[in-house]
Amino acid sequence: MQTMKTSYQNLQDFITALEQAGELHRIIAPVSHDLEITHITDLACKCPGGGKALLFENVVGSDFPVLTNAYGSDRRICMSLGVPDLETLAGRLRQFIQMEPPKRLRDALRLLPMGMELLKSLPRKVKTAPCQEVIHMGKDIDLGRIPVLKCWPLDGGPFVTFPVVITRSLETHRRNAGMYRLQVFDRRTTGMHWHIHKDGSHYFQEYRKAGRRMPVAVAIGTDPATTYAATAPLPRGIDEMMLAGFIRRRPVPMTRCVTIDLEVPAEAEFVLEGYVDPDEMRIEGPFGDHTGYYSLVGDYPVFHLTAVTHRRRPVYSATIVGKPPMEDCYLARATERVFLPLMNAVLPEVKDFWLPWEGVFHNLSVISIAKEYPGHARRIMSAVWGQGQMSFCKAVVLVDDSMDLSQPGAILREVLNRIDLRKDVTITEGVLDVLDHSAPEPLFGGKLGVDATRRMPGESPRGEAAGPSHLPSGASIREALRTASELLTDHHILPVEARNRVLLVSFKKDGSSSAQYFRDALLAQPLLEPFTIIVLCDDFVDLTDYAVVLWKACNNVDPRRDMALKEGRIVIDATRKGPEDGHHREWPEDILMDPEIVEQVRKRAGELGIDTWETVKAS
């Protein structure tokens, strides 16, 4: 039995390990980096368990192979972090967080191994770097040589999707490594899409105030620990290279750039060096994002390249994001597990948390707590909404620590059985992720809190209402819906028997009517009284595909505008919004692949070696 590696020297070392483990599929046939690689990767991501990592060896118009889906399974994300399971890494982190100061010499000696491990986490400077084996400067710089992917049909252009973007604070001189997509504008410029709450953007504002150009370096294809660290929600000022070193159990070798005063991972496949001008902005986007929708265009800084360096035989690393599940879901799962100890350090009553994939990380969080006093769950809601990147979460559901958060069906049944909609639902306002498109205003909108924890002395009891003993017939439901509005065309009863029964309803929107005009009529229909929760979906949504229904609800609902609570019942409008709904922002398109590309890949499935994939047959 082969021993699992605890760290990898570089990306190609990881590729070798993937192949030895049977986790890599090589595609030798020629493929295009314009949409075709994306569709093949999406098919792999949608395979049971996340499919395999893909190495495209013959990319049309490029000398470099492309790696995708390297981290897109439970097994591969654990391999990348050098652990048998994610709890092992979380346990290592918890040891340091809970470490107590030594009180005597014996305690100090016992802590020496941990101190040595921390020293190994510090990055190490080297002079000779594989990432600088080939150097292009001046007129030799040409991003067109790199097989940067155009991922989805409506994308504004090709995007670098797996960059480790390295910046340094002008004030504190601390380094940050973040992951911000780069739209390729031409041979020597890209966009720099850092969100307002990211450290890179914060440092950029320092340079803007000083009126100075900001040096920026971008490493593409780093070792797995470094790639993961760039995605991690670390507190501001903490060097991601230290986290990478901690995961690797050995330092990340860093080397000085050839044209700017920054250091980059020496073992990277490619490095882009350059600067961002504080006064130059350019329209960037759209981009098919991890929400499953296109993120809208916006003004972002421009990255000017002063050098491109790479290994003699580099591999270009990319990730594809879109409608979940995709590769980023597994990276998010790692963060969910690894950073639970950090959340515990701030909120010790939090025992576990779960970010469902359908919530695309920032729309839904389920948190289990050890409840100790009346109102404790409401306090945790407020604390979470004020805690780092968790503050962008739109909906928070609190459950007891006896709940197993790895059992989604049991959680849903428990929540529907327990909550009293009169008392357990909180609707408020706050900051939102920049990718939230449902709120009437960017970055700010409604938030939802649900308290499904047990009642304790001092809290008002829940009502005694029990689930209905019988439900109306399908014909009766259709008649009741038609009476409320002719635009309500279909329905489906969620097959979960609980005190709160859920009715899913198709709404054929025509641009003239809003759910606001008939939701009271829905609640007034006597035949619909057994349903305390009514969810409206666009008529093109399959009401029996519960993952899609939840994904739509998480993305499309602004709690303040789209939830109508009345006498212990609620109507939730999860449809697309327009001016008739009081929504005057542009509504993004769902991400869909070009049908010609879908058919082209289907016809080439045998040549590509993917004809056995169930997702190919289904398409």
Active site residues: 289
Distance separating alpha carbons of residues 183 and 161, to the nearest angstrom: 9
Q: Please give the C-alpha separations between residue 349 and each of 98, 346, 376, 460, in angstroms, as whole numbers.
A: 15, 9, 9, 22
Q: How far is CA 223 from the centre of its chain?
A: 20
C-alpha dihedral sign at 524, 529, 532, 536: negative
Among 220, 253, 252, residue whose Cα is nearest residue 64: 220
The amino acid sitting at 425 is V
C-beta neighbour count of 221 within 10 angstroms: 31
C-alpha dihedral sign at 142, 146, 147, 153: negative
Q: Is 21 helix (H, G, I), strand (E, B) or coil?
A: coil
Cβ-contact 44, 51 below 8 angstroms: yes
The amino acid sitting at 557 is V
Name the token pair of 370: 């050890």
DSSP 150: B
- List the Cα angle 297/300/302 in 5-degree steps: 125
Q: Please give the C-alpha separations between residue 527 and each of 197, 413, 474, 505, 565, in angstroms, as whole numbers.
A: 48, 23, 11, 14, 18
C-beta neighbour count of 607 within 10 angstroms: 14
Distance separating alpha carbons of residues 456 and 378, to the nearest angstrom: 13
116 Cβ contact list (under 8 Å, min separation 6)? none
Residue 573 burial by Cβ neighbours in a 10 Å radius (0-12, 13-18, 19+): buried
**Residues shown for the chain:** 619
Partners of 573 in the beta sheet? 536
Among 240, 569, 198, 544, residue whose Cα is nearest residue 419: 569
The amino acid sitting at 128 is T
Cβ-contact 148, 160 below 8 angstroms: yes
Distance separating alpha carbons of residues 43 and 358, to the nearest angstrom: 18
Name the token pair of 418: 């327990």
The amino acid sitting at 29 is A
Among 275, 269, 339, 335, residue whose Cα is nearest residue 306: 275
- Pair type for strands 124-125 and 253-256: parallel
Q: Please give the C-alpha separations between residue 69 and each of 13, 52, 73, 164, in angstroms, as whole numbers.
A: 16, 7, 8, 17
Distance separating alpha carbons of residues 200 and 166, to the nearest angstrom: 8
Distance separating alpha carbons of residues 300 and 306, to the nearest angstrom: 19
What one-character-per-residue DSSP string does 332-371 give? HHHHHHHTHHHHHHH-TTEEEEE--GGGTTTSEEEEEE--
252 Cβ contact list (under 8 Å, min separation 6)? 123, 124, 223, 225, 226, 241, 244, 245, 265
